Structure 1
Amino acid sequence: MSQFVSLPGPACPPATTGGIAAVDLLTIDAKGLQSRLADGEFTSLDLARKCLTQIQKHDGHLHAMIKTTPIRILEETASSLDRERADGIVRGPLHGIPILVKDVVDTPTLGLPTTAGSFALLSSKARKDAKIIDRLIPAGLIILGKTNLSFCNSRGSDMPSGWSAVGGQVQSAYIVGGVDPTDSKDGHSSPSGSSSGSAVGVSAGYAPLAIGTETDASLVCPAGRAALYTIKPTIGLVSQEGIMPISHHFDTAGPMTKSVHDLAALLDVLAAGPRSESFTASLTGSWSDISVAVLDPEEWKFPEDWVKPVEGAEAQINREIRRAYDVIKSKAKMFVNNVDLVSVDELALDGESSEGIVMMVDLKRNLNTYLANFEESEVRSLLDVINYNLKHADKELPPHHPRQDRFIDSQNHTISPEVYERHLQHLRHVARDRGVERVLDTYGVDVVLGPTDSGLTSMAAAGGYPLCAMPLSYLDYNGRPFGVSAIAGRGRDDLLVKVMSAWEATFPGRKPPPALV
């Protein structure tokens, strides 16, 4: 745990009496907690204290947290929500429920900086809370603190998933021994990133809910490694105002939860635009009116330099995903096997990654605008961050991952607006016209399913599509969870909630981390 994490002292004694003592934070979801709060078994103050005790117990190893909210604010918030409940006022299904927020979301009213895990931003202060915080607090959620991350996986090409200078290396709650130093960036011992802390925090019982963000893979892959449900919403569904950006074309925040009901209820809160009905209306638990296409797991997977092969592990993943496909085939309205979705290799143009080009240009432009608007900060631009890292290389650029080449490339790029636009339009054309839209239209299906650790994440980023992750099983090799993702048409986030609901009703429930039980 970082030395900068604020944990409860004598003012917040462990909750060990009454109904709260019997609550298993590793398994209970927000819906279950809400039911018990409504029955008066315990209070939100009891619950917040128990969650803080869980953080204190495990984060010395897991490093999922950057900083917890000052105890005075937590206790005042929880007590106020308890008084409202006692007076018959319940703001909604998440009233009095604790939540974690990735440390790229502005939270000045909570007394928390937005650091992205960098010492350069440790003393930062945003002018106002992010728009999503302005939605979470009125909904009655208790923000416990900010979670660890890898600086949006954007700093250096050698940066492992889930590492930050301030927070250290996030460890999976499922893998005894932690990240193998000889493993690849997103190998089987990795929690994956960049929303690693949010995923690990929920799986370890710190809170039943968390907010992560994704540019490409940063929600779905950490959720897949933590046996959680998540969705990268359609770009634009969730406001990005007040969230540290990488690319306005690809970025979005999203929920990470143990259950689909929790995900739908939290997505209702996060969604920026008006909706005619709640996402919970999609919780049918049935495949009967869903037409499904699936991708070959032997073809759709991350390259070996991302996920270092382990004897037997890949075979198990392929075998269990195919078994899941067979089950869905017997239940779905229609099923199409091994569809020919265009390869992510086609997202390249003239030998260069179009996604990489767009992100490289967007990073400097977006980050400069974001940092310049801070009320207080040591750094005001990407160049300031680069120079800070050089000056404090012992902390920010340690020997085990000393590069910031992606920052430098973004700062020094000479890409013209015409070339930038050409790459952006190429991404849209391949991902949409030749990719997802073609498959959905050609085969008459609603969704496409494939391994979570696959190029589906890049298809979603390139096309602006919603993408979800669903837990499936656990590696015999080391116990790490793996799962399946689904992609749907733009604006069909409700359909993905429906798919997740059907998945949850079909396959065995997720297991908590054995080492923490």
Structure 2
Amino acid sequence: MQFHALINTTRPHIHQKKKKKEKERKISLAQYCADMAFNVLTTNAVDLKQLIEENKFTSVQIVQEYFAQINRYESALNALISPAPRDNVLAIASALDQERQNGKVRSSFHGIPIILKDSFVTAWNLGMSTTAGSCAFVGSKASNNGAITQRLINAGLIILGKANMTEFAGMKMTTMMPGWSAHGGQTLSPYVGRLEVNEKLLGHSAPGGSSTGSAVAVAAGFSPLAMGTETVGSIVTPSTRAGLYALKPTIGIQDTTGLYTMTDFFDSSGPMAKSAADVRMVAEILLGRSFDFSQLGLWEGLSVGFLDPRVWNMSSDFCTQFAGTAEQMVEDYEETVFTLQNHGCPVRYPVDLKDVSALPVTILPIAYWDFKNVCIPRFIDAFDECPVRSVADIVRFNQKNSERALPAPFTEQNDLEGAMNSNEERERIDVLKKELRNTAQRLLQESFDRERINILVAPGDSSVCVHAAAAGYPIATVPIAQLRYNNRPFGLCLVARANEEETLLRFMNAYEKIAKPRPVPKFHFLTSESI
């Protein structure tokens, strides 16, 4: 904005009075704007809760701020596969505001927005589709919300839309880029922008696993909260690459009715957010448990072991390192270790854990069997109307509609076909599951016991998420920094024993108090034409 100035050399005293009044008006306007808006890139859900309780904002006004940010950047980032109809959202927000005025508050996050990965079934009257990123599920209709969706709604959260995801969480084509689906296209990082030419699956410009749309939506300021799901790394990777705090709870402790999962054995759903407190409060809603750390010392009861980042890093098959990238990630990792030690955290570094080669090579047959025989049938049963009835139907649909369902460069469906042709007996799969789970738990337990720790930490860009998934253990993320190479964030992943979500949440809470502020996207890669 430009302002004109009146130059009156003959009556300077009048000119000075006008300038003073103009300056006062500018200050007044600036203060008004400061009072009437919040920064969607930095404000977290706990902040919003306080703003609402202090009557500084209503849920309707908050929703409108996020709509404005979506208008600014969604066309460039492609994070949302099915935005909720805005009239519906505003009506829900208004009803929740009225409930609050009437003295009814459903939960700590009553009236707070959230975005759900496209694997969470939403009832047709909410105006959003559920497709798991697949064209084969376009047109499916459910009369009921999935169990987790309904739990969030009952707690008073407002669903702003469904996030794009890797199609079927990756159970389509082995070399499909994370964050891409035939129905939703490619989601991009708000820190990096376009993928580099010939980028590898987890290269530095890639936004990460199947919950990419959810992570990007939070980092880009489309919502303070999002829900993702993880088989192996699908919450961890996109969260660390979006500078977020996140949690994948213990496998099997949530009701997965009305939720697309690739497997029952590896999968769990969890929250992504800008702060540890946000993750804790959503976890309380999801798990029906209270996590209160107020009576404990900052590090009381915690003992943390850090794996060696020179050993636990990303294979060059998945990520090409450039000048200084690997070195910076090690330096910032070790700086984090020293910072924690200096602030009194009981840290052991480095600690040891046997790598993935010590695990049975059974992940794919287990995933194929669960997908075909349990997860896709259950997902289909969540709908009253659905164009497909089996994995074989999906494969045939994609073949018949290849122009939109199998577009270049992702023209194959080898994993779908592998699942379709899987003929293992249930008894054999049960044996494989037991062997893998027992081995993974034994390997982790050996490290926990030998090092006398209750949290195991590794770089976000590592294979520790494989151990956690195979063991069924909870895993969480916290941010560290950004690469100087291209600004993409990176962070830590944290593993604890089964049902020890509270241990992870306590560490996250303490870590946030002494860590650097999480990185915020600047959108420097965008031009005025691309917005």
Q: State if a TM-score over 0.5 links the two structures.
A: yes
> Counterpart of 1:307?
319
> Counterpart of 1:89?
104
Tell me by how many angstroms 1:201 deviates: 0.3
Tell me by how many angstroms 1:288 deviates: 4.6
Tell me by how many angstroms 1:280 deviates: 4.3
Give the counterpart of 1:414 among 410, 423, 428: 423
In structure 1, how many angstroms separate the alpha carbons of the residues matched to 2:345 and 2:212? Answer: 35
> Counterpart of 1:493?
501
Give the counterpart of 1:401 among 390, 401, 410: 410
> Counterpart of 1:8?
none
Q: How does 1:243-322 map to 2 (within 5 A)?
A: 243-271=259-287, 274-275=288-289, 278-281=290-293, 286-322=298-334
* Structure 1 residue 208 corresponds to structure 2 residue 216: no
Give the counterpart of 1:427 among 421, 430, 436: 436
Give the aligned residue type for 1:416: E
CA offsets 1:149-191 (integer angstroms, 9 cap, x no match): 002011101210000112211000001x421131101110011
> Counterpart of 1:156?
173
Moved more, 301-310 or 115-124: 301-310
In structure 1, how many angstroms separate the alpha carbons of the residues matched to 2:297 and 2:74? Answer: 35
Q: Is the 8 A contact 1:63 1:168 kept in 2?
A: yes
> Counterpart of 1:129?
145
Q: Is the 8 A contact 1:261 1:283 kept in 2?
A: no
* Structure 1 residue 167 corresponds to structure 2 residue 167: no
> Counterpart of 2:209?
193
In structure 2, how many angstroms separate the alpha carbons of the residues matched to 1:421 and 1:87? Answer: 52
> Is there any run of 5+ residues in structure 2 with no aligned partner, and where?
1-31, 527-531
Structure 1 375/449 Cα, relative in aligned 2: closer, same or farther at 3 Å?
same
> Counterpart of 2:469?
461
Q: How does 1:347-496 map to 2 (within 5 A)?
A: 347-348=359-360, 353-365=361-373, 366-433=375-442, 435-496=443-504
In structure 1, how many angstroms separate the alpha carbons of the residues matched to 2:136 and 2:295? Answer: 43
Q: Is the 8 A contact 2:146 2:382 kept in 1?
A: no
- Give 3-state SS (helix, strand or coil) of 1:241's partner: coil
In structure 1, how many angstroms separate the alpha carbons of the residues matched to 2:71 and 2:389? Answer: 34
Tell me by how many angstroms 1:331 deviates: 3.9
> Counterpart of 1:504?
512
Q: How many residues align structurally? A: 491
> Counterpart of 1:4?
none
In structure 1, how many angstroms separate the alpha carbons of the residues matched to 2:364 and 2:484? Answer: 35
Larger Rg: 2
> Is there any run of 5+ residues in structure 1 with no aligned partner, and where?
1-16
In structure 2, how many angstroms separate the alpha carbons of the residues matched to 1:444 and 1:331? Answer: 20
In structure 2, how many angstroms separate the alpha carbons of the residues matched to 1:452 and 1:233? Answer: 17
Q: How does 1:42-53 map to 2 (within 5 A)?
A: 42-53=57-68
Tell me by how many angstroms 1:333 deviates: 5.5
- Give 3-state SS (helix, strand or coil) of 1:27's partner: coil
Structure 1 19/128 Cα, relative in aligned 2: closer, same or farther at 3 Å?
farther
In structure 2, how many angstroms separate the alpha carbons of the residues matched to 1:330 and 1:289? Answer: 17
In structure 1, how many angstroms separate the alpha carbons of the residues matched to 2:506 and 2:219? Answer: 23
> Counterpart of 2:120?
105
Structure 1 214/20 Cα, relative in aligned 2: closer, same or farther at 3 Å?
farther
CA offsets 1:326-379 (integer angstroms, 9 cap, x no match): 22234456432222212111113xxxx311221111111121232145211111
Moved more, 285-294 or 31-40: 285-294
In structure 1, how many angstroms separate the alpha carbons of the residues matched to 2:345 and 2:43? Answer: 32
In structure 1, how many angstroms separate the alpha carbons of the residues matched to 2:301 and 2:378? Answer: 45
> Counterpart of 2:8?
none
- Give 3-state SS (helix, strand or coil) of 2:191's partner: coil
Structure 1 339/18 Cα, relative in aligned 2: closer, same or farther at 3 Å?
closer
* Structure 1 residue 141 corresponds to structure 2 residue 157: yes
- Give 3-state SS (helix, strand or coil) of 1:28's partner: coil
Tell me by how many angstroms 1:283 deviates: 9.4
Q: Is the 8 A contact 2:257 2:378 kept in 1?
A: no
* Structure 1 residue 71 corresponds to structure 2 residue 86: yes
Give the aligned residue type for 1:193: G
In structure 1, how many angstroms separate the alpha carbons of the residues matched to 2:256 and 2:296? Answer: 30
Structure 1 506/39 Cα, relative in aligned 2: closer, same or farther at 3 Å?
same
CA offsets 1:80-101 (integer angstroms, 9 cap, x no match): 1111222233222211111000
Structure 1 315/266 Cα, relative in aligned 2: closer, same or farther at 3 Å?
same
Q: Is the 8 A contact 2:121 2:142 kept in 1?
A: yes
CA offsets 1:225-246 (integer angstroms, 9 cap, x no match): 0000001101123321110121
In structure 1, how many angstroms separate the alpha carbons of the residues matched to 2:197 and 2:399? Answer: 24
Give the aligned residue type for 2:302: I
In structure 1, how many angstroms separate the alpha carbons of the residues matched to 2:130 and 2:104? Answer: 32
Q: Is the 8 A contact 1:358 1:420 kept in 2?
A: yes
> Counterpart of 1:13?
none
Structure 1 369/140 Cα, relative in aligned 2: closer, same or farther at 3 Å?
closer
Moved more, 21-30 or 97-106: 21-30
Q: Determine what percentage of the aligned residue pairs are the same residue.
A: 35
In structure 2, how many angstroms separate the alpha carbons of the residues matched to 1:47 and 1:359? Answer: 40
In structure 2, how many angstroms separate the alpha carbons of the residues matched to 1:200 and 1:266? Answer: 18
Tell me by how many angstroms 1:409 deviates: 0.5
Tell me by how many angstroms 1:284 deviates: 5.9
Tell me by how many angstroms 1:430 deviates: 1.8
In structure 2, how many angstroms separate the alpha carbons of the residues matched to 1:507 and 1:285? Answer: 17
Q: Is the 8 A contact 1:163 1:170 kept in 2?
A: yes
* Structure 1 residue 80 corresponds to structure 2 residue 95: yes
Structure 1 332/37 Cα, relative in aligned 2: closer, same or farther at 3 Å?
same
Q: Is the 8 A contact 2:437 2:470 kept in 1?
A: yes
Q: Is the 8 A contact 1:107 1:129 kept in 2?
A: yes
* Structure 1 residue 117 corresponds to structure 2 residue 126: no
Q: Is the 8 A contact 2:81 2:163 kept in 1?
A: yes
Tell me by how many angstroms 1:314 deviates: 1.1
In structure 2, how many angstroms separate the alpha carbons of the residues matched to 1:466 and 1:302? Answer: 21
Structure 1 388/142 Cα, relative in aligned 2: closer, same or farther at 3 Å?
same
- Give 3-state SS (helix, strand or coil) of 1:294's partner: strand
Q: Is the 8 A contact 1:347 1:355 kept in 2?
A: no
Q: Over the residues paired in the alignment, what is the CA RMSD in angstroms?
A: 1.8
TM-score by length of 2: 0.89
Q: Is the 8 A contact 2:489 2:519 kept in 1?
A: no
TM-score by length of 1: 0.91
Give the aligned residue type for 1:149: M
- Give 3-state SS (helix, strand or coil) of 1:482's partner: strand
Tell me by how many angstroms 1:261 deviates: 0.8
- Give 3-state SS (helix, strand or coil) of 1:188's partner: coil
* Structure 1 residue 220 corresponds to structure 2 residue 220: no
Moved more, 366-375 or 159-168: 366-375
